[in-house]
Amino acid sequence: MSQPHTVKLYRVLRAKPERVYRAFLDPDAMVKWLPPHGFTGKVHHMDARVGGSHKMSFTNFSTGQTQAFGGTYVELVPNERIVYTDQFDDPNLQGEMKVTISIAACLVGSELTVVQQGIPPMIPLEFCYAGWQESLQLLAQLVDPEIADGP
């Protein structure tokens, strides 16, 4: 049974769980893969520990409008699970969201499940699904290739 204002996504990646986990906690990696197509991202701060906070913003490349959001890390199990809260700065998008990232090793690399709960009612869930699908496509492009250092 799905909960209202919740999206759930599942993806199999070729990367090992360690690489996937690191991509969610590395600010440089996050600005490369998390903003959906047509957006740039900036990590304002990230204290990746239980109780630590994070703040990020996406900017629409076409309009220049920025949407900032941030929250707190609730649970961090290395290479397996990340749980954090998110809240938009915009007063029209009230409410605290909870994001649960589950990573499990599988034969080809990793199984990734993303559950985002508490999405503000004025945001159509289809927008969230579309955005996450684009982000996870970019995540795969970042973590799947094994690129050796040059000579």
- Domain assignment of residue 1, yes or no: no
Kindly list the strands in the beta sheet with 7-13, ordered across the sheet, starting from the edge strand earlier in the chain. Answer: 7-13, 109-117, 97-106, 81-88, 66-77, 53-60, 39-46
pLDDT score for 2: 52
For residues 86 and 70, the answer to whether their CB atoms sit within 8 Å is: yes
- Domain assignment of residue 151, yes or no: no
- Domain assignment of residue 129, yes or no: yes
Amino acid at 96: E
The model's pTM is: 0.92
- Domain assignment of residue 88, yes or no: yes
User: Domain tally for the chain?
Assistant: 1
Residue 11: name the closest of 33, 31, 42, 26 by CA: 33
Beta-bridge mates of residue 71: 54
For residues 85 and 96, the answer to whether their CB atoms sit within 8 Å is: yes
pLDDT score for 1: 45
Amino acid at 24: F
Beta-bridge mates of residue 146: none
- Domain assignment of residue 79, yes or no: yes
pLDDT score for 100: 98
From first to last of its 151 residues, the chain has per-residue pLDDT tens of: 456 799 999 999 999 999 999 999 999 999 999 999 999 999 999 999 999 999 999 999 999 999 999 999 999 999 999 999 999 999 989 899 999 999 999 999 999 999 999 999 999 999 999 999 999 999 999 999 887 776 6
Domain extent at residue 49: 7-143
- Domain assignment of residue 101, yes or no: yes
- Domain assignment of residue 91, yes or no: yes
CATH code, domain with 101: 3.30.530.20
For tokens 């007063």, what's the residue? 91
pLDDT tens for 33-51 read: 999 999 999 999 999 999 9
Both tokens of 14, joined, read 């070729």
- Domain assignment of residue 87, yes or no: yes
Q: Give, in degrees to the nearest 5, the angle at Cα 73 between 117 and 139.
A: 70
